[in-house]
Amino acid sequence: MGGINITGPEILWELPESIPLIGGQPITETMRNAWIVMLFIFLLCVFLTHRMEKVPKGKQALAEKAVMMIDNLVDGTMGPGCRSFSPYIATLLMFSFCGSLASLFFMRPVTGDLNTTLGWALITFVLITFNKIKYNGIGGYLKGFLEPVFVMAPLNVLSEVATPVAMSFRHFGNIAGGLVISTLLMAAMGALSDLILGFLPVPLLQIGLPGILSLYFDVFTSAMQAFIFSMLTMAYVGDARSS
């Protein structure tokens, strides 16, 4: 179908070769959009916490309610004594949700790039491994690969490595898949509109079904994937602490 171009993130420019270590590094639209999302989250946090008072009201009450919800979610999923993970979980939720919603503002969603979700999954993997070693010792951590019998060691190692891969591909696949479907459907409706209603100045058929699907993929799927990724992080890290 003519006019459709579904590719990876566009390379905007490259860093000068003269810069040590990172010279020649491509700067993609994912990186640019990620900084825009981070700036938005930063400004939102500044706004919600500006001029805080002892008796919360208005936006301060909303911010404190959000913090309490995250703390309760961490307590209920990971168990008591795990609130130190609340900032990380809150960051995952906000960055994932806002990064996916970037498509509503005509930007490529940050989570539509595997590099983004894989980076988060690797951080989670490091937390899992760190807590397993912290609570079981290096010997107990290595012994875990031999359970229930030593011949299971290769499968246990594969399962360990598969955790960040599965987490990253699940999140990336849902967002990228929605992006592809929405793009194809918009193009198809635009072509059909030109064919049937070509006398109109706007592609009328692009307003209905594509808009509804866009709300589903951009809002519902974004919220669900942010929640699922955060829940998996809490479940895996919580299990590592209790194993």
145-200 pLDDT, tens digit each: 888 888 888 898 998 999 999 999 999 998 888 888 777 777 777 777 777 766 66
Tokens 């640019």 sit on residue: 32
| Pick from 3, 19, 33: nearest CA to 187 | 3
Number of Cβ atoms within 10 Å of the Cβ of 56: 13
Secondary structure (3-state) at 204: helix
In a structure prediction context, what are the per-residue pLDDT tens digits for the chain, which is 243 residues long?
444 556 678 888 888 888 887 778 888 999 999 999 999 999 999 998 888 888 878 888 889 999 999 999 999 999 888 999 999 999 999 999 999 988 888 888 899 899 999 999 999 999 999 999 998 899 988 888 888 888 888 898 998 999 999 999 999 998 888 888 777 777 777 777 777 766 666 666 666 565 666 677 678 888 999 999 999 999 999 998 876
**Residues in Cβ contact with 102 at an 8 Å cutoff, skipping those fewer than 6 apart:** 33, 36, 37, 108, 109, 110
Q: Is the bond into 148 cis (omega within 30 degrees of 0)?
A: yes
Question: Taking a C-beta distance cutoff of 8 angstroms, is the pair 241, 141 a contact?
Answer: no
Would you call 121 exposed, middle or buried from its count of C-beta atoms within 10 A (0-12, 13-18, 19+)?
buried
